[in-house]
Structure 1
Amino acid sequence: MSRKVVVTGLGAISPIGSSAQEMWDNALAGVSGVKALTDDWVAEYELPVYIAGRINRPISESEFISRVEAKRLDPSGQYAVHSARQAWRDAGFSGEDAEDSTELDPERVAVSYATGIGGVWTLLDSWDTLRERGPRRVMPMTVPMLMPNGSAAAIALNHKARSTAQTVVSACASGTESIHLGLELIRSGKADVVITGGTEASIHPLPLAAFARMQALSTRNDEPERASRPYDVDRDGFVMGEGAAALILESEEHAKARGARIYAELAGTGVSSDAYHITAPDNEGEGAARSLREAMASGDFSAEDVVHVNAHATSTPVGDIPEATALRRAFGDATDQMAVSATKSMTGHLLGAAGAIESVMTVLAVRDHKAPATINLENKDPQIDLDVVTEARDLPAGEIVAVSNSFGFGGHNAVAAFRSVS
């Protein structure tokens, strides 16, 4: 019998909150974190899109990262360290790292932490420095700051996690795939504790210009708070967001032995590949449906047990419909009983961090038996036959299961399912 895995700590920094609880409170209240960008480079490059979901307060105000540390980390790494330290403290370990904690063996603590793009600010700023000021002015720490595994490495160093430190890079499915890997690390016996999650800090003129050229971004510049509108007939693209989230996963026996507070059980996960198109999802949703079925098998639950879905729901015309199709393929008529929330309507799309942010919200949904809001849904697309939550709603009492979906460029599909605990 496989080991049961539970969630004992949560951390987040996002457009709607600099902690997991603040983010959750704002998600229940329907608060938008999307604003107009006021940076000089918006006008300099004549960007066609200049709205995004920035973190809701500067990282310099974080109690979890010092100024000295921040200088040696890309913004994506700063957000990652903030979220991991917050989650670690939330989990109630006796020390600041695995060596200092009496209940931990550092060789049984692992990191599985994701990103979609990595240190893009460091990479592009360093290229500008090289061109304008020469090689002697390039920072010595440039490579560790830009490499995609930099965040996982920083977390492992901070917390003395010596089992393994791995990085998942699967576009917008990355954060959820990191949780899948964390589950496997504990079930296989490789680790007792895993720090998992995802980070992204790519609100930079190049990614904005590139996504805009793909016609993937909303151009509703005059109404930032209303731009991200999953499932609405007037949706015209996603809104970029930034931030990070971390979840502390533990084997149930390890958590109970140290008397930890348990948020929820990570019941199961599922991953699959569309092998269909580099950017577009399979219109039939079969790959996504397979990941949902795999999560059910992995977690030993049925479609009838699922009461809530935190959907990937990016607000793109081509993306929202296949996900709705996939839910129907996997869950059948039971889909009618599921309260579906599209929280990117408030946070924007955090790319490689999206799955981690949304998994944190899904954990809190099963803890509180509440589904968060979906804002900006004024005229639902008739092709999307789902019960979409437009105002925070109570979920059924008793034991419940909720799932979080993530789908990424390249055809990556990932699902995490969480079960409530008494």
Structure 2
Amino acid sequence: MKRVVVTGLGALTPIGNDVETFWNNLIAGKSGATRITRFDPSLFRTQVAAELKDFDPAKYLDRNEIKRTDPFTQYALTAAGQAMKDSGLDVSTMDPYDIGVIWGTGQGGMTVFEEQVKEYTQNGFHPRFSPFFVPKLIPNLSSGMISIKYGLMGINYTTVSACATSNTAIMDAFNYIKWGKAKVIVTGGSEAPITEASVGGFAAMKAMTTHNDSPETACRPFDSNRDGFLMGEGAGALILEEYEHAKARNATIYAEVAGAAMTADAYHMTSTHPEGSGALKAMQLALEEAGLTPADVDYLNAHATSTPVGDLSEIKAITSLLQGDYSNLHVSATKSMTGHLLGAAGAVEAIASILAIKNSIIPPTINVTEPDAAIPADLKIVYDHPLAKEVNVAMSNTFGFGGHNAIVVFRKIK
């Protein structure tokens, strides 16, 4: 089996439109939440979200790319472009069939779907649909457009597993390179869900926060007063590369992908298993593949969306994994700052995990004033301020509607 490393990163998030800004704001504990500006939210139960700030696609994409794509694909192209540049890859020197794209999105083109259906009804149900409606809508256009832009002719598809989506994409990319079926894969995820239909739908499920009076503190994972997730948007991109190939071209290596695993809860459409049994098994399998034990993990980036049930089921899985040994592992929930990027969450949190390894800093969990009493007091959750600590192994957890559990483990390159 081949070793797989990360040689490029790209981030477009509510707290920064590039990796450096994202990381600096993350460790500073800055919230990306505001009152929704994309539409008038006054009639909605949830009126806050973590939107991108000052993002102009024209700075990154040409006019035709913008015209032909939904925002979720524009976000994908932007983050992937950053990661490609960061990696220093010269595609012209490689066989294009050795380079693939495995991308993730949970919803796809929600913006264009909403716009076109509104136009259809407002025009008296006259079918004046745009010829770009379907290409903008379908989820796989993100991976397709990245491959077209850079001439990448290898493995190419899009994963969909709700909020576990981009970890699924990263795991698939890891496996294809490990099996020798690709040398380089652009992977990650993007989401543009801050629309009336998406916000309205999640709010109707009572899955989202209603702390509308205080957007910046609305997302409060592990806090006893948490009441639902805060929606976010953006993209995260990683360049995964076969280790010997990366070494031969003197690439900068951020970390090694050590292991990954998926399980299913087989329990409920939208709720996690209350005991976290599926999550526990996925973490165990990912560590087993990596040849590591729970005691080896220095940092765990929790899925922790700030929902009453979900946060505690994950805590149960973590404590079951550790079996009472809390001496080394530190946990934080970066969604407290970025919001929940749905299908892009895993990619953005993978970047946070990798940078924790690179910089020996664990980002904090903000907005926790009263930790849930059900959380073991000796479990080391990093609150309020970043923690300086050597991180050799980091684990990133993601869970999605439908019972999907996807875990990725990164380690410092040796």
Q: Same fold (TM over 0.5)?
A: yes
8 Å CA contact 1:182, 1:249 repeated in 2: yes
AA aligned opposite 1:67? R
- Alpha-carbon deviation of 1:40? 4.4
Structure 1 344/304 Cα, relative in aligned 2: closer, same or farther at 3 Å? same
Q: Partner letter of residue 3 of structure 1? A: K
Query: Which among 51, 55, 61 is matched to residue 52 of structure 2?
Result: 55
Alignment of 1:107-256 (within 5 A): 107-133=97-123, 135=126, 137-256=128-247
1:68 equivalent in alignment to 2:59: no
Q: Which amino acid aligns with 1:85?
A: G
Superposed, 1:9-408 pairs within 5 Å as: 9-43=8-42, 46-60=43-57, 62=59, 64-94=60-90, 98=91, 101-102=92-93, 104-133=94-123, 135=126, 137-385=128-376, 386-390=379-383, 391-396=385-390, 400-408=392-400
Distance in 1 between the 2:167 and 2:337 partners? 19
Question: How many angstroms apart in 1 are the aligned matches of 2:203 and 2:252?
Answer: 44
* % identical aligned pairs: 43
SS at structure 2 position matched to 1:184:
helix
Query: 1:164: how far off?
Result: 1.3
- CA–CA separation in structure 2 for the residues paired with 1:119 and 1:172: 16
CA displacement, residues 75-95 of structure 1 (integer Å, 9 cap, x when unaligned):
00000000001100000113x
For 2:275 and 2:327, the matched residues in 1 are separated by 19
2-structure distance, mates of 1:21, 1:113: 22
1:132 CA drift (Å): 2.1
Give 1:61 shift: 5.8
Over the aligned positions, Cα root-mean-square deviation in angstroms equals 1.3
Query: In 1, distance between residues paired with 2:317 and 2:39?
Result: 42
Once the two structures are superposed, residues 275-323 of structure 1 have per-residue CA deviations (whole angstroms, 9 ceiling, x without a partner) of 0101111111110011101111111111111000000000000100010
Look up the match of 1:415: 407
Amino acid of the structure 2 residue aligned with 1:379? E
Q: Distance in 1 between matches of 2:155 and 2:325?
A: 39
Conserved 8 A contact 2:364-2:382: yes
How much does 1:148 deviate?
A: 1.1
Task: Output the CA distance in 1 between the equivalents of 2:83 and 2:44.
Answer: 36
Separation in 2 of the partners of 1:317 and 1:336? 26
Unmatched runs of 5 consecutive residues or more in structure 2: none
Q: Secondary structure at the match of 2:104?
A: strand
Deviations 1:335-369 (A, max 9, x none): 44211110000011000000011001101011111
SS of the residue 2:32 aligns to: coil
Bigger mean CA deviation after superposition, 311-320 or 300-309? 300-309
Letter in 2 for 1:13: L
CA distance in 1, matches of 2:338, 2:103: 20
Q: How many residues of Structure 1 are paired with residues of Structure 2 in the alignment?
A: 410
C-alpha separation in 1, matches of 2:127 and 2:195: 25
Give the partner amino acid of 1:291: A
Matched residue of 1:418: which SS?
strand
Distance 1:151 1:389 in 2: 35
Q: CA deviation at 1:257?
A: 0.8
Q: 3-state SS of the aligned residue for 1:41?
A: coil
> Hey, what's the Cα distance between the residues in 1 that align with 2:304 and 2:373?
15
Distance in 1 (alpha carbons) for counterparts of 2:40 and 2:372 = 36
Residue 408 of structure 1 aligns with an amino acid whose one-letter code is G
1:79-136 Cα offsets, whole Å, 9 max, x none, are: 0000001100000113xxx3xx31x211011111000111011111111122223656
**Given residue 380 of structure 2, which amino acid in structure 1 is its aligned partner?**
D
- Alpha carbons of 1:251 and 1:11: their partners in 2 closer, same or farther (altered >3 Å)? same
